Amino acid sequence: MIKSRMQIRLNGGGRCSMMVYMLEKMIAQMKDNILVILNPTGSSGTGIMLDSRGIIVTNSHVVEGTSQVGITTNDRKRYLARVLVANRKVDFAFLLCPGLVFQDFPVLASRTSYMEGEDVIAIGHPLGLDFTVSKGIISSSCRQVGDVKYIQTDVPINPGNSGGPLIDIHGEIIGINTWIISDAQGLSFAVPSTYLADAYRSLPADSVIAKSVYCISCGRLGKQGKYCSECGIEHPVVELPVGLFTDTGICHTCKKQNAADAHYCTNCGGTLLRSQNQPEAEEKTVSLAADAAKKTCQSCGTEKQAGVYCSHCGTKLDA
């Protein structure tokens, strides 16, 4: 029996609605495992929580020059994470943050072939716009650069997306977004999940990790001590900028003093990090005269704010 145009339209619309629903659900679940990573040098990127131990994967260039980074979760909680190992040739790294507790974890795809034209999604924090979702297609399933085979896509990628997931329509991570050709459009490249899965399975046992230290020089995990047991270089002391991993409320970007419980700087909108397991600061009372001059965020509804940006969600406040 030949279906009428209306029947085809209705059936197609139903399938489309179901696909949209599944896509929204998949993105929402994935966001819960995606992290903002803040390097003490001032750069930032994206990371993905992989398991209940607190293992995070990102790009090695995101954690370049440090053995500790700050991370922010989708619900604005902030922690410290330590670097475990970095593969600078392929450009990926694994971190550890045992204080994080998640229920579900994303899957690193095991497949080794990809269809050109296949829909893919990227989630990351481009230019500080955290948890941004972008969509595109696979342009080349195997673009070899040197000894590394990348997935080439036309997904819009910007600084801050580095280390974020490239996701297929099944919700599996097929790679992490790594680099772009900056003077062109739609030329983005991701490290395939096969590289990540092999390295993830080779991570040391928890007992070994607990007694080891990451070397900034060689990118490997060695025995604790003044010098790296793998390359012999003395471990440098990583100095954390004031306000980056502490609860002073000082913005590491513009140095403005914020409330101790603020999530974002009210002056520049930058992310503020608080040390792990630190309780929220108690709300302080202010005078009615001061309240009158303060603003309410139109995005999240947080009231009595002074400054240019909302301290809770980072949205620019109306004048």
Pairwise CA distance, residues 5 & 11, whole Å = 10
Catalytic residue numbers, as ranges: 61, 91, 162
Contact 68, 34 (CB under 8 A): no
> Three-class SS of residue 63?
helix
Phi, psi (degrees; rounded to nearest 5) at 71: -130, 150
Q: At 32, which amino acid appears?
A: D
Pairwise CA distance, residues 268 & 316, whole Å = 9
Contact 256, 267 (CB under 8 A): yes
Non-local CB neighbours of 168 within 8 Å, separated by 6+ positions:
109, 118, 119, 120, 174
